[in-house]
Structure 1
Amino acid sequence: MQKYLINHILNRTEMHNYIRRSTHDLLSPTSQTHNVAIMAPLTAAEIVKHSAYDSVAWNLPPTTSGTCPVAQNRRGGPLNLYYEIHGTGPAKLVWIMGLNASHDDWKRQTKYFGHQNASKYTCLVFDNRGVGRSDKPVNYYSTSEMAQDVVDLLSHLGWIDLSTPATRSVHVIGASMGGMISQEVGMLIPDRLASLTLCCTAPRLVRTAPFLENLRERASMFIPRHVDVELARLGHTLFGGDFLDQPDTEYEDPEKNFPTRRERFAAGQLKKREDPESFTKKGFLMQIVACYFHHKSPEQLKALGDAVGRERIAVLHGTEDRMLTFRHGEILHEEIGKGIQWKVYEGSGHVLMWENEDEVNQLLKELVDRTS
């Protein structure tokens, strides 16, 4: 089954045909979003020459960083995870990122919690197995094994001590695949979680045809073809509404800003291409396998709610999420049960941490402060 899935996702003919069907609409000189004409985005060649290109990477020096050995006596181990700690506050926040994304993709939350509010919060960000500066073994990945990696990391850092009575000492936040891993963390150490936030994620895959099409699209980053087509398709998959067509206002200095957020997003993807050792085909494929086979039953989700405490759980989802459709968030909400915090972001896609940055940060702050 795993071999079939990988071959299915990487079927080049299917991917090229899929892209070809909609390239014209995505890259036409103007497009209509809410009846407003949108100018054609800069090309990749223009983006890398733009004065804002070097502003894509943020300067967020960690309080400490390093590598941690995990999976010492488990399948695929031992292997090393790269991690960073930001901030020195009493509330400990664990951020678990999604498919083919690194610790840097939490930068907006790392800045807010680990730098602007560093005396109140301590943030742990890390690279999952298969991506970034962590090891990328070629073997079967599962969200349950990756969750055990997180428990190993927390034990290594002294954030939890499995030999002592449990205390609710850590706040776990997971996005997309990271939300799947976070569910598994909640199953492993429910009585050590002060809160659990599940963003744009799923308990299992339903209506998988759109999901597989989007995975084929993302996997196509490893197939030589026009980069502008690829970036346009990826942006359409990940973001909702006209978010990417809004002006880029990241910095006060206009020289550090692109014309729109679309170019800022594309610049981030182009930066990843400059680091092929961190973002590899093998690691990406192994993580896809973990996502595809993730499955939490209604009974397991109810047990998760019972064990963690529904007043400590938040589920966030955008109505225009094309990667993991809105129905996945509804299922999480329904099956964990009444009493959780259920937040719907109308018109938002799969990247809530950027699309709704201020609102999400405020929601998380209130949840963490209330449950600490």
Structure 2
Amino acid sequence: MTGTYPPIPKVASTSVTMTSKIAKGHVRVCERRPRGPVDIYYELHGEGKRKVMFIPGFNVPCQGWDLQTKFFGEMPEYQAMTFDNRGAGFSSCPPGPYSTYEMAMDAFELMQALGDDWKEGVHGVGICMGGQILQELALICPPGTFASLTLITTSAGSWPSVQQMITLYRFLSEPDPLQRLHKLVDSLYTAEWLEQSPTSSYALKAIEQDGKDYKTNRDWSFDLILQRRARSPAGHPAGTLPQIIAFNLHNVSRDRLRRIRELIPEILVVTGSKDDVMYPSNSQYLADQLHGTLLNFEGCGHSPFIERCDDANAKLLEHIERAQTRFEKNREKGAKPAKVNDQKSWKEVHEESPVFANELALACI
């Protein structure tokens, strides 16, 4: 898989724009790890003290979080940060294999580079592979780094079904870029929702203020992807296979999930009842093991933060506000960060690298 994808048509105007307070740039990471260095592209939306980190999923640039970075970035008390994983968007594309642990290390070094505000009380949000990366990141970071986690349509590790592999193959093998995007839309959202008239505040605002002609949610969701592609590179085909391997080989054991729940008491797990990309049973398992709150969007597919964006954003804000209150109360009391109830120190946990996954990935290349 070499070269670049065919060009995507440019959009005439954008309805979901950047927030007014935005900073962006690159941070060099992985200088002392194999296959480095890697340049990670990031964006900061807003200037508030409360920090929310959004990790994108498989082969998706950070603009996939537009509806969330806009929502939080426009609130004066919040700052939203998102970034492109290695092999995607404006970040560099080192040779594979990749692992979710390695990409979590990229995120950890990015947080360190952004300063002290990103070293304590951060609210982490990840979808699909981004949720897998967030699990590893929660174990890498020192205690107290995260005030909350939100794991959206993700898993602790599971082999894809035959149907999932067929869907992925059909998407990646489609030569026509527009047809590929239509197949992507079909895999992310339910057929019923796609044919309904738009009702989200973002779509209605685009219709009323920007003159967009959205007849159905398919029109709106497809245009969102076109807008995202218009503001990001065409993609890194060479990064696709390494990300697929990282996604499929991800594995966080029950013991490691226990450590996460001991370190971070406020955990929200989100799923869609009709998600055919990451089955809801994966979210149920995570919620059970992490003792987290399970939020199931009935009738939703893989992307409830698009299908039910207004409700999902409100639920996420409620979760983060509750976690923030708990974090601030603990800080006022001088409470020390939670410790895992075993004999391993943070340094030992931090240095644990899933070498087996890397070796297996190498064998698959």
**TM-score normalised to structure 1 length:** 0.77
What does 1:307-318 correspond to in 2, within 5 Å?
307-309=263-265, 312-318=266-272
Structure 2 equivalent of residue 236 of structure 1 = 186
- Worse-matched range after superposition: 62-71 or 97-106: 62-71
Q: In structure 1, how many angstroms separate the alpha carbons of the residues matched to 2:124 and 2:153?
A: 14
Q: Check if 1:178 corresponds to 2:130.
A: yes
Deviation at 1:268, TM superposition (A): 4.0
Q: Check if 1:121 corresponds to 2:78.
A: yes
Q: 5+ residue gaps in structure 1?
A: 1-5, 7-46, 162-166
Deviations 1:62-83 (A, max 9, x none): 4321110111111221111111
Deviation at 1:276, TM superposition (A): 8.5
Do 2:14 and 2:227's aligned partners in 1 also have CA atoms closer than 8 Å?
no
Q: In structure 2, how many angstroms separate the alpha carbons of the residues matched to 1:54 and 1:145?
A: 37
Deviations 1:309-360 (A, max 9, x none): 2xx11100001111111111111112223xx211111110111111111122
Structure 1 equivalent of residue 152 of structure 2 = 199
Do 1:143 and 1:290's aligned partners in 2 also have CA atoms closer than 8 Å?
yes
One-letter identity of the residue aligned with 1:333: A
Q: Check if 1:265 corresponds to 2:217.
A: no
Q: Say which SS state the counterpart of residue 324 (structure 1) adopts.
A: coil
Q: In structure 1, how many angstroms separate the alpha carbons of the residues matched to 2:213 and 2:128?
A: 28
Do 1:298 and 1:336's aligned partners in 2 also have CA atoms closer than 8 Å?
no
Percent identity of equivalent pairs: 31
For residues 156 and 231 of structure 1, do their structure 2 counterparts lie closer, same or farther at Cα, with a shift above 3 Å needed?
Answer: closer
Q: Say which SS state the counterpart of residue 215 (structure 2) adopts.
A: coil
Q: In structure 2, how many angstroms separate the alpha carbons of the residues matched to 1:105 and 1:129?
A: 15
Q: In structure 1, how many angstroms separate the alpha carbons of the residues matched to 2:85 and 2:255?
A: 27
Q: Check if 1:284 corresponds to 2:240.
A: yes
Deviations 1:233-288 (A, max 9, x none): 32221112522212244421473232222123333445566689441211222211
Structure 2 equivalent of residue 74 of structure 1 = 33
For residues 105 and 71 of structure 1, do their structure 2 counterparts lie closer, same or farther at Cα, with a shift above 3 Å needed?
Answer: same
Q: Say which SS state the counterpart of residue 144 (structure 2) adopts.
A: helix
For residues 364 and 276 of structure 1, do their structure 2 counterparts lie closer, same or farther at Cα, with a shift above 3 Å needed?
Answer: closer
Do 1:87 and 1:122's aligned partners in 2 also have CA atoms closer than 8 Å?
yes
Aligned length: 311
Q: In structure 2, how many angstroms separate the alpha carbons of the residues matched to 1:91 and 1:349?
A: 30
Q: Say which SS state the counterpart of residue 256 (structure 1) adopts.
A: coil
For residues 194 and 274 of structure 1, do their structure 2 counterparts lie closer, same or farther at Cα, with a shift above 3 Å needed?
Answer: closer
Do 2:15 and 2:210's aligned partners in 1 also have CA atoms closer than 8 Å?
no
Structure 1 equivalent of residue 172 of structure 2 = 219
- Worse-matched range after superposition: 56-65 or 131-140: 56-65
Q: In structure 2, how many angstroms separate the alpha carbons of the residues matched to 1:271 and 1:89?
A: 26
Do 2:153 and 2:278's aligned partners in 1 also have CA atoms closer than 8 Å?
yes
Deviations 1:100-145 (A, max 9, x none): 1111111111111002x1x110111111111111101122111001
Q: In structure 2, how many angstroms separate the alpha carbons of the residues matched to 1:159 and 1:181?
A: 21
- Worse-matched range after superposition: 340-349 or 362-371: 362-371
> How large is the RMSD of aligned CA atoms in angstroms?
2.5
Structure 2 equivalent of residue 303 of structure 1 = 259
Q: Say which SS state the counterpart of residue 314 (structure 1) adopts.
A: strand
Deviation at 1:206, TM superposition (A): 4.4
Equivalent residue in structure 1 for 2:68, among 83, 86, 109? 109
Q: In structure 1, how many angstroms separate the alpha carbons of the residues matched to 2:34 and 2:323?
A: 35
For residues 234 and 128 of structure 1, do their structure 2 counterparts lie closer, same or farther at Cα, with a shift above 3 Å needed?
Answer: same
Structure 2 equivalent of residue 355 of structure 1 = 307
Q: In structure 2, how many angstroms separate the alpha carbons of the residues matched to 1:285 and 1:201?
A: 19
Q: Check if 1:88 corresponds to 2:47.
A: yes
Structure 2 equivalent of residue 152 of structure 1 = 109
Do 2:20 and 2:46's aligned partners in 1 also have CA atoms closer than 8 Å?
no
Structure 2 equivalent of residue 256 of structure 1 = 212
Equivalent residue in structure 2 for 1:341, among 273, 293, 312? 293
Q: In structure 1, how many angstroms separate the alpha carbons of the residues matched to 2:313 and 2:84?
A: 21
Q: In structure 2, how many angstroms separate the alpha carbons of the residues matched to 1:141 and 1:107?
A: 26
Do 2:195 and 2:217's aligned partners in 1 also have CA atoms closer than 8 Å?
yes
Deviation at 1:205, TM superposition (A): 1.4
Q: Say which SS state the counterpart of residue 169 (structure 2) adopts.
A: helix
For residues 225 and 122 of structure 1, do their structure 2 counterparts lie closer, same or farther at Cα, with a shift above 3 Å needed?
Answer: closer
Do 1:129 and 1:135's aligned partners in 2 also have CA atoms closer than 8 Å?
yes
One-letter identity of the residue aligned with 1:244: L
Q: Check if 1:324 corresponds to 2:278.
A: yes
Structure 2 equivalent of residue 31 of structure 1 = none
Q: Say which SS state the counterpart of residue 364 (structure 1) adopts.
A: helix
Do 1:76 and 1:140's aligned partners in 2 also have CA atoms closer than 8 Å?
no
Do 1:241 and 1:349's aligned partners in 2 also have CA atoms closer than 8 Å?
no
Deviation at 1:156, TM superposition (A): 0.2
**TM-score normalised to structure 2 length:** 0.78
Do 1:217 and 1:234's aligned partners in 2 also have CA atoms closer than 8 Å?
no
One-letter identity of the residue aligned with 1:199: I
Deviations 1:45-97 (A, max 9, x none): xx969xx8523562434432111011111122111111111111111111101
Q: In structure 2, how many angstroms separate the alpha carbons of the residues matched to 1:245 and 1:110?
A: 26
